Amino acid sequence: MLRFQDGRHQQTADIVVTGERRGVVEVVYKEERPELDEGPFLKEERNLIDAVARELALIIERKKAEEDKIKLQEQLRHADRLATIGQLSAGIAHELNEPLGNILGFAELAKQASGLPQQAEQDLQKIVKASLYAREIIRELMLFARQMPQQNSHVDLNQIVAEALSFFEARFAKEGIKLVRALAADLPAIVADASQLTQVLVNLVVKAIQAMPTGGTLTVQTFADENHVALIVEDTGIGMSEEVMKQIFVPFFTTKGVGQGTGLGLPVVHGIVSSHGGSIQVQSKAGHGARFEIRLPVAKPDQFEVDSDNNCVRHG
């Protein structure tokens, strides 16, 4: 509320939008007014102020509804794009998987031949290395497209975090990165694919390391509420602009140079989290680090049963 003039006689009306007070309309008489039975403001004046407040509330409500509609349309377009890319990625992955396996198999067989020149051995090793790299891209594509079957079981998210972070201890020290763990005690178990959740954390940690080329602080936190278990990965790195944030879950989008990234790390995270019925929120500003918060549902006992292979299977 802005008050332009102070005065003895004031009349106000609240601006209320969907039951929430968003502001106030205030009228002030600067000069002295005669004391009437109904006060210094006439009934018509009070009604006019109330009407102005209602009109302002309608304008604010319409503007908010328009902004919400635009936001929802953008979310739907983004979801549609991801679904289309997911279908395309799954098709490409399936088509490439078999010939790639043949290339890798024949290259391994050729390496076993006796009397190979040293140059030929080196070339075959390059073929094997390139094939393995391509196979990893295909695996990530299938994860993004939700084509990899889940091996669900009851897992402890804290244990997954502890085991995954142990692989990075030497790299943290080398890169000058301080690790802060804030893992909640007595975290409820969730039903999930442990290897896929490990992949989620590894991808987020790798991204955080790359975002802190001169060192920094990486915070990994877990907590739980009534219905969800949450994982937060936060860094103090270079952050992202709004334009970049709009595209981070689009496959093959990357801000890195050629050969320095596939652009599949975060799309894979999105695909895995979505396939587990979870959600992911991102907060970041250029020069101010990034924060990823993942929420996964706490499974109710009657939602899952254990099959013959000791995997948890969702009912229905």
**pLDDT (tens digit, 9 = 90+) per residue, 106-128?**
888 888 888 888 898 889 988 98
d(CA 213, CA 176): 9
pLDDT exceeding 70 applies to what percent of the chain?
Answer: 76
Q: Do residues 234 and 289 touch, judged by C-beta distance below 8 A?
A: yes
118-144 vs 265-275: helix axis angle to the nearest 10?
40
Average pLDDT over residues 262-271: 80
Query: Residue 316 has what pLDDT?
Result: 45
Nearest to 211 by CA among 231, 233, 235: 235
The CATH architecture annotation of domain 152-314 reads 2-Layer Sandwich (3.30)
Query: Residue 197 has what pLDDT?
Result: 92
CATH number for the domain formed by residue range(s) 1-147: 1.10.287.130
Per-residue pLDDT band for 302 (boundaries 50, 70, 90) equals: low
pLDDT of 3 over the 50 cut: no
Average pLDDT over residues 254-276: 74
- Token digits of residue 229: 């278990």
List every span in the chain annotated with CATH 3.30.565.10.
152-314
Report helix, strand or coil for 153: strand
Give me the torsion for CA of 130, 262, 239, 167, rounded to 10°.
Answer: -50
What tens digit of pLDDT does each residue of 233-247 get?
999 999 998 888 888
pLDDT of 220 over the 80 cut: yes
What tens digit of pLDDT does each residue of 23-62 get?
888 877 766 666 655 566 777 777 888 888 888 888 888 8
Query: Residue 1 has what pLDDT?
Result: 45
What average pLDDT does the structure give for the chain?
81
Q: What are the residues facing 290 on neighbouring strands? A: 235, 284
pTM of the model: 0.58
Q: Which residues contact 209 (CB under 8 A, 6 or more apart)?
A: 168, 171, 172, 175, 177, 218
Q: What are the residues facing 218 on neighbouring strands? A: 179, 235
Nearest to 133 by CA among 172, 107, 168: 107
List every span in the chain annotated with CATH 1.10.287.130.
1-147
Give me the torsion for CA of 62, 67, 70, 72, rounded to 10°.
Answer: -100
d(CA 45, CA 31): 16
Diameter over CA atoms, the chain? 114
What tens digit of pLDDT does each residue of 126-166 get?
898 888 878 777 777 666 665 566 788 889 999 999 999 99
> Sign (positive/negative) of CA torsion 185, 189, 194, 200?
negative
Q: Kindly provide the b/e burial profile for residues 61-84, where b requires at least 16 CB atoms within 10 angstroms of the residue's own CB.
A: eeeeeeeeeeeeeeeeeeeeebee
Query: Residue 2 has what pLDDT?
Result: 44
